[in-house]
Amino acid sequence: MKKKVLVANWKMNKLTKDLHSFFEIFSEKLKSRSQFLSHTDVIIAPSYTLLMASVQLFRSLDIGTSAQNVHHLLTGAFTGEISLPMLKDLGVSYTLIGHSERRQYFNETDELVAAKTKICLEHAIAPIVCVGENKGERDRGETKSVVLRQLKAVLNSIDKSNSLMIAYEPVWAIGTGVSANPKEAQEVHLLIRNCLVEKFGSAGRNVSILYGGSVTKENIGSFLNQSDIDGALIGGASLDPLSFFSMLELAALND
C-alpha cells in the first residue's frame, strides 16, 4: 500500500536554533512512536540556509529534507541561484517546484515549472510540483481548467513518473485559514489522477498527490480519508513541532 506523505513547508521562517529546537521536540515525540514512519513519509522543507543542518539531523530519524526551489539549469552565471547538483551535494532528495508564491512573486511560468521538473527527474531529485487556482479563477469556475493547464505543461515535458509528486494547493486556501472542502479537493485530485494514469498508465496510480492550503491537525483527517489524497503539504501548522507531530499521528491513524 502507498505510504502517506507529509511535507512541512517552512517557507522563509526559522533560524538554526529553531531547527534544533524543532528537531529535539519532534525526535523526542517520535522515540516511542517510530512505527508511524512505516505508514507515512515525512519530509521537511526548510530554507536554503538550513538544508545542510536539516539533512544531517533528520537523516537519523529517516526523515527526508526538501528544498523549496531549484534552478532549471545545472550550472552557469546565475548569481544568487541554487542548482540541482548543489542540492544533491548536501544530500537533499526532494524539492518543491512551482509553489504558488514562486509563481506569484517570482513570475514562475508553466514552462519554467516544467523545465525544473524535467531536470529533477533526470537527476534523481524528487520533484513536488505545486498546482492550484487562485481566488479569481475559482470564482469564475476555472479551477479544473487552470489545474489541467499547469499539470499538462509538466506532463508534456516528461516521459516517466519516477519519483514525481503533485501538490494541489488552491491559492486562496494558502495561509488564509480557509481550507478547501475535502470533497471538492478530492474532485480535483481525481482529475489529476486521471491525467497521470492517461500519461503513465498504471504507474500514474503510484504518484502521490498531496493537498495543501490551511491544513491543520483539526482538518487533516478529513483530507487524508479521501481516496485520491495521498498526503499533505503543510505551511503554517508545520512550524510547531507538536502540531506537526499530531498530524503525523493522525496520518498513521488514518491508514
- The site for ligand PGA (CB under 6 A) is made up of 9, 169, 174-175, 212-215, 233-237
Residue with Cβ nearer ligand PGA (46 or 213): 213
How many Å apart are CA 196 and CA 207, to the nearest integer? 8
The 3-state DSSP class for residue 233 equals: strand
What is d(CA 167, CA 96) in angstroms, rounded to the nearest whole number?
9
Cell of 84: 540541482
Rank residues 236 and 241 by Cβ distance to ligand PGA and give the closer one: 236
Min separation Cβ 169 and ligand PGA, Å: 6
Comparing every residue's Cβ against ligand PGA, the nearest one is 235
Minimum distance between the CB of residue 234 and ligand PGA, rounded to whole angstroms?
5
Supply the minimum distance, in Å, between the C-beta of residue 89 and ligand PGA.
25
Residue 30 C-alpha cell reads as 517520535
- Across the chain, how many H-helices and E-strands are there? 10, 8
Catalytic residues: 99, 169
Crossing angle (nearest 10°) for helices 182-200 and 143-155: 30
Three cell numbers written together for 21: 529546537
Specify the residue, 127 or 236, whose C-beta has the smaller distance to ligand PGA: 236
Closest approach, Cβ 9 to ligand PGA, in A, equals 4
Residue closer to ligand PGA by CB (options 87, 232) is 232
Q: Residue 103 and residue 146: Cα distance in Å, rounded?
A: 13
Return the SS3 of 160: coil
Smallest separation, CB 179 to ligand PGA (Å): 8
Residues 225, 254: Cα–Cα separation, whole Å? 7
d(CA 139, CA 129) in angstroms, rounded, equals: 24
Q: Using the minimum distance from each CB to ligand PGA, give the nearer residue, 212 or 241.
A: 212
| Cβ atoms of 214 and 175 closer than 8 Å | yes
Q: In 10 A of CB 233, how many CB atoms? A: 27
